[in-house]
Amino acid sequence: MKIQNIHTHIKIGLVVLLLAFLNPIDLQAQRFSRGGGNASRGGASTHRSTPSRSSNMSRPKTTTATRQKSSINGGFNKSTSRNLPKKTTGSTSRLPSKTNNSGIKNKSTNLGNKKTTNLGNKKTSNIKNKSGNKINIDNSKKNVNINVNNSKNFHQNNSRNTRVNHSPRHYNRPPYRYGGRGYYCHRPYYYHPYRPFYWGPAWHPWGFFITTLATTAIIVSIENQKYHYDNGVYYVAENNGYTVVQAPVGATVQTLPKEAETVQVTETTNNYYYGGAYYEKDANGYTVVPATAGTIVPSLPEGGEETKIGDQTYVQFGDTYYQPVQVDGKDMYEIVEVKDEE
């Protein structure tokens, strides 16, 4: 029986050897075209496109004997249910024999200095989901519990004003991709820290509270909401005073502060920009409009939040993301067009 097995193997070997000589390209092609299933865990590289393993895939049963608590990975686990071939009688392992599997020996290399530090930094980052809501992650269960933080109501009240119109220009650059979304910009990412701009003594950031309005303030009503407008700033009455809110889309005013700038939306269209709000001019005055993706602005007001998105850092106002860019040597921001992608 053994002799018959050996003869069979020799025959198989000779056939394979013959095939290899006859058509090596086909053999290689066949090997490369085979495959299937998921690729390995994404941790194999820092390359973003490395395929990753789904976290909820079924895992084989593993030996649970001795989990080494101090091991860097809890100790090697080997499935007890592997369906592997047994070595054929007569065939020997091609692995070089080792007297010791690992050969690991302790070394007393000392890395780092001995002084102990007191970790005083316990403040953690705000974690946000795609809707812009702050969330808490229960990392013990790997579940995500959405906990919307409404502490900054002026953001929520004016969320409609953070909607972004599509860019009328074609994007020649590929988007930055993260989490199933593409972040499109006409200009390259050029990081500079977010430093809110101050437009002058008459200007106030969103959320600012005052008890009395200037006599120059006028009333603007949009969708049954009454706003008070003064020098490029919009207020709503509350708590026996007035709170600064984002400029309401659709509001029309006759004048803008002299610090208002023109920003280019398309080759033929400009917006007026002041205090983080965008205006279109027509015969009736200046009307607040949504931001248009691709528009470059020189500065941003308070109220934004620097947010790490993959490797890049954007400034986020509600649904509006601003990418830091550089134009003619000056630090500026481009409004990002965010698209859901496969």
Compute the least distance from the CB of residue 111 to other proteins, in Å. Answer: 5
Nearest CA among 157, 102, 203, 155 for reference residue 303? 155
- Residues from 63 through 102 that contact other proteins (CB under 8 A): 68-79, 82-85, 87-88, 91, 93-96, 98, 101-102
Q: Which x/- pattern over 171-190 shows residues binding other proteins (rule: CB under 8 A)?
A: -------xxx----------
- Does position 11 interact with other proteins (CB under 8 A)? The reply is no
- Does position 258 interact with other proteins (CB under 8 A)? The reply is no
CB under 8 Å to 198, separation ≥6 — which residues? none
Q: Indicate which single residue of 1, 4, 22, 35 sits in contact with other proteins (rule: CB under 8 A).
A: 35
Closer CB to other proteins, 36 or 329, in the complex: 36
Compute the least distance from the CB of residue 235 to other proteins, in Å. Answer: 27
Helix H, strand E, coil C: the string for 238-252 is ECCEEEEECCCCCCE
- Does position 226 interact with other proteins (CB under 8 A)? The reply is no
**CB–CB of 293/184 below 8 Å?**
yes
Closer CB to other proteins, 178 or 208, in the complex: 178
- Bridge partners (DSSP) of residue 236 are 243
Compute the least distance from the CB of residue 194 to other proteins, in Å. Answer: 8
Closer CB to other proteins, 110 or 268, in the complex: 110
Compute the least distance from the CB of residue 176 to other proteins, in Å. Answer: 12
Instruction: Give the C-alpha separation, 92 to 97, whole Å.
Output: 11
**DSSP track, 25-84:** HHHHHHHHH---S----GGG-S-TT-----TTS----B--S---TTSSSSS---BS----
Q: Which x/- pattern over 127-166 shows residues binding other proteins (rule: CB under 8 A)?
A: xxxxx---x-x-xx-x-x----------------------
How many residues bind other proteins (CB under 8 A)? The answer is 105
Instruction: Give the C-alpha separation, 218 to 255, whole Å.
Output: 11
Instruction: Give the C-alpha separation, 203 to 212, whole Å.
Output: 15
Instruction: Give the C-alpha separation, 59 to 84, whole Å.
Output: 16
